[in-house]
Amino acid sequence: MVQDIHQEKILILDFGSQYTQLIARRVREAHVYCELHPYDMTQDEIRAFAPKGIILSGGPKSVYEEGAPGLSDAVFELGVPVLGICYGMQVMSHHFGGLVVPAGKREYGHADLIAQGCPGPLFDGFFVEGKSPVWMSHGDHVERMPEGFETVARSDNAPVCAIENAELKLYGVQFHPEVSHTPRGEILIDTFVRKICGCTGQWTPGQIIDDAVARIREQVGHGQVILGLSGGVDSSVAAALIHRAIGDQLTCVFVDNGLLRLGEGDQVMATFAENLGVRVIRVDAEDRFMQALAGEPDPERKRKIIGNLFIEIFEEESARIEGASWLAQGTIYPDVIESAGGKTGKAHNIKSHHNVGGLPEFMKLKLLEPLRELFKDEVRAIGEELGLPHPMVWRHPFPGPGLGVRILGEVKKDYADILRRADAIYIEELFRTGHYDKISQAFAVFLPVKSVGVMGDGRTYEYVVALRAVETRDFMTAGWYPMPYADLARISNRIINEVKGVNRVVYDISSKPPATIEWE
């Protein structure tokens, strides 16, 4: 009998923080399942969720403002431990009668947390000689604590930076333990979910696979499934997982849309059809995609056009497969969060993903998304557990719309041809120089602008290619990769010399936020 790995779960109530998804990521790193839900989740929904513990996220509001987000009594009636982070600590204090006021001096960035007295169990292993560096992001602070709470830490600018009510197992921290800028933050979150909430850590790759296989079999029954195989990590792992669950009931449809990387079509067919024994149908649809995208410069419209056409082709192919009733996709949790604020609906919509926000309203096929609850590194972990080749599992992410969102503005065939050659040179050089495995994601972007150059003794007026490389733990925040100048120079020189139509190469040094990783 497969163990229900969703029995032990943490509820994260989202108050609109840009870091909320990172809280979920840290909980998952403790091998505990969690879900994000809106702060105004109903009392009945909270009780029905039956969490082992609750985490209250940060948020942009002030608790004393009219209409500021508040808390349901059900959060505390369950009797489970509660951890409030930043606004979460303030709203918990306010709920129990404490006083939150504008701070005389706001805190944004690094600060030293200083222990007060003997901090409780939440801070086991967190302080070193009574101090710990943390990341702050607040303009308000708790001036008067609620009755029954104690101060367990402060900073130079805030007299109350951590509070606890040991009897009720209520805890609050003004800083953000979920971000990488708080060095020992993951220890605090691990302590909360494992020691204080009593979770045993059932969310492991092997158990995730067993659970997913059982759910796929129950959901699909004797039906036939088609999967849109892109060659990227997510769709590849989804294919392997579904194939393990239902075998020949799965047919993969690989749509060659003219927006793939150089030689990718042949590589995908070789990997899956020849080596893994998965049934794969290859559809040459480059002309259809180019015609559909002609004249459309808007990124959101492009994503929806590509998504709709994918579904149209999948449904055409499904009509040829007797009993086909399911469309499988490699949708993962960050796709869901970025497309529509995830399950919380409180975050701003950043962009639509073709496999979430780009689907048509009415489809003949039912959706099967076995990776929808997983973050990228969880997907990679179960890919390795399933026995997929290491280079496939650790390949850099490739967007569902492919080069369609790496060509800025209107998509044209000659733009795609230029970009795929430039990108191939870039990736080849990253492997040659040993940078590829140190980078989380790297790719080239085609800019539909021309600049003046000179080659030989002649004037040129050709296109620009931008190179992007980032380092990240979770793809929610990212920093640009400090590529050595000599390597950049070689890559630039090769692209300009070997790719006709390009005379200028630039390197993107933007972080996320404020930029996104992809340009569109």
- Looking at residue 181, its pLDDT comes to 87
Instruction: Dump the DSSP string for 328-374.
Output: E----HHHHHHHHSTTTT-SPP----TTTTTS-S--SSEEE-TTTT-
Cis ω on the peptide bond leading into residue 514 (within 30° of 0)?
Answer: yes
Annotated catalytic, 147?
A: no
53 labeled binding residue: no
* pLDDT for position 342: 41
pLDDT at 361: 56
Residue 235 annotated in ligand binding: yes
Residue 213 predicted with pLDDT over 90? yes
pLDDT digits (tens, 9 = 90+) for 326-372: 989 899 887 776 664 444 445 444 344 445 444 555 567 789 999 99
| CATH 3.30.300.10 domain residues, the chain | 413-507
In one-letter notation, the amino acid at residue 424 is: A
When the pLDDT of each residue in the chain is averaged and rounded to a whole number, the result is: 89
Q: Please indicate whether residue 110 is annotated as part of the active site.
A: no
Per-residue pLDDT at 19 exceeds 90: no
When comparing pLDDT for 155 and 216, which is higher? 216
Where do the CATH 3.40.50.880 domains begin and end in the chain? 9-196
Is 316 designated active site? no
Q: Per-residue confidence at 171, pLDDT binned at 50, 70, 90?
A: very high
Confidence of residue 168 (pLDDT cuts 50, 70, 90): very high
Measure the CA–CA gap between 107 and 131, rounded to whole angstroms: 17
What is the DSSP secondary-structure string of 362-423?
--SSEEE-TTTT--HHHHHHHHHHTT--HHHHTSPP--TTGGGGTB-SS--HHHHHHHHHHH
Catalytic residue among 31, 176, 243, 353: 176
Q: CA 34, CA 24: separation in Å to the nearest integer?
A: 6
- Confirm or deny that 231 is annotated as ligand binding: yes
The architecture that CATH gives domain 9-196 is 3-Layer(aba) Sandwich (3.40)
Burial 308-331 (b: 16+ CB within 10 A, else e): ebbbebbbebbeeeeebbbbbbbb
On the question of a cis peptide bond just before residue 513, with omega within 30 degrees of 0, the verdict is yes
The string of DSSP codes covering 212-244 is: HHHHHHHHHTT-EEEEE--SSHHHHHHHHHHHH
CATH class of segment(s) 413-507: alpha beta
Q: Dig out the tokens for 357 from the structure.
A: 């926000």
Cα radius of gyration (the chain): 25
230 is in an annotated binding site: yes
Name which CATH class applies to 205-393: alpha beta
Q: pLDDT tens digits, residue range 303-325? A: 999 989 988 887 788 888 888 88
Catalytic residue among 178, 338, 373, 378: 178
Q: Which residue has the higher pLDDT, 319 or 186?
A: 186
Helix (H) or strand (E) holding 130: none
> Which residues, 6+ apart, have CB-to-CB distance to 204 below 8 Å?
31
Cβ contacts of 499 within 8 Å, gap of 6 or more: 418, 421, 422, 425, 465
**Residues of CATH 3.40.50.620 domain(s) within the chain?**
205-393
Half-sphere exposure (Cβ direction) of 459: Cα atoms closer than 13 Å: 4
Which residue of the set 8, 34, 86, 94 is catalytic? 86
